[in-house]
Chain A
Amino acid sequence: MAVPLAFLIGLVFGTGIMISGMANPAKVLNFFDIAGTWDPSLAFVMGGALTVALIGYRIVLRRPRPVLDTCFHLPTRRDIDPALIGGSALFGVGWGIAGFCPGGSIPALGLLRPQAAVFVCAMLAGMAIARRLRARRAAPRPRLS
């Protein structure tokens, strides 16, 4: 059940990205271009998504466990570390260069445009590079947290 349901939930996600206009890099870039061709739509996407998720999570996370698993897999870290700050800043710069973010670029693949495919390949390469860097950095001094 977990796999077919994940497929259906993925369809809902992809449909949401598509309808909201977030598969379109120009629309994303225009949100940030207040001084130019401003398009405030992205704020409405975040508003709609956050409202539903805030209320939905409240209801769902009150249950003892998810329907198809024994526990909720929630991040437990609460510390603010340099990796969070630097990584998020670098992500923002990359997002601002072309208007693709991970969640927007995957559904954009379905539009069969070369830009989306090039972006996703480069992003996956970046993820692999970052994992290597992190593994190398962590190797000499294993963190015990």
Chain B
Amino acid sequence: MSDMTAFTPIQSLLGGALIGLSAVLLMAFHGRIAGMTGILAGLLPGQEGRGWRLAFLAGAVLAPLLATTLGGIEIPFSSQTPLPWIVVSGLAVGIGTTFGGGCTSGHGICGNARLSRRSILATLIFMLAAGLTVYAIRHGIGGA
């Protein structure tokens, strides 16, 4: 099951810069780390500051929604993973990021930008684990 995507260096660099900008702005105004795991965890009952978290999440969802519906822009999306495996993946990501204290945004961008040694190690580990998993699924198990 080949699922080719085009190499987009310019868009990805520009999009990445916007992700970085959002992290800098959230630190400058709210004094907060723009980590999706932390923002989602802060929504659970008994946490203060749910307002800004919900607003951030609403903005993050609305940007692609408005671009595709009102803007008529086509955003590539392809997922060939069977739904039961998406459930397994979601559970693993939810449990893993909670114990690991962050994800690609929290550790990968914000933590690394602060040169946190926990974040640098976490990033190396989850990148390696993801690479091995993709290799096992696409080339290992069943031999694609």
Which residues of A does B touch, CB under 8 Å?
2-27, 29-30, 32-37, 39-42, 44-54, 56-57, 59-61, 63, 65-69, 71-75, 77-80, 83-104, 106-116, 118-131, 133-134
- Contact check, B12 vs A20: say whether CB atoms are below 8 A apart: yes
Given known pairs A8-B59, A21-B76, A129-B91, the reply for A97 and B125 (CB within 8 Å) is: no
Number of A-B contacts (CB under 8 A): 494
- Contact check, A118 vs B68: say whether CB atoms are below 8 A apart: no
Given known pairs A16-B19, A50-B20, the reply for A119 and B11 (CB within 8 Å) is: no
Q: How far is the CA of A73 from the CA of B100 in the complex (A)?
A: 18
Q: How far is the CA of A118 from the CA of B122 in the complex (A)?
A: 26
Q: B60 contacts which of A10, A75, A88 (Cβ < 8 Å)?
A: A10
Given known pairs A37-B2, A129-B94, the reply for A78 and B118 (CB within 8 Å) is: yes
Chain A residues with CB under 8 A of B51: 2-3, 6
- Contact check, B12 vs A106: say whether CB atoms are below 8 A apart: no
- Can you sample 23 A-B contacts with CB below 8 Å? A12-B25, A13-B34, A13-B60, A14-B63, A17-B64, A20-B14, A21-B5, A25-B81, A35-B135, A45-B12, A50-B113, A61-B27, A66-B30, A88-B126, A91-B97, A91-B100, A92-B125, A96-B131, A100-B89, A102-B105, A111-B68, A113-B79, A129-B91
Chain B residues with CB under 8 A of A22: 15
Q: How far is the CA of A57 from the CA of B115 in the complex (A)?
A: 11
Q: How far is the CA of A138 from the CA of B30 in the complex (A)?
A: 30
| Closest B residue to A118 using CB positions | B86
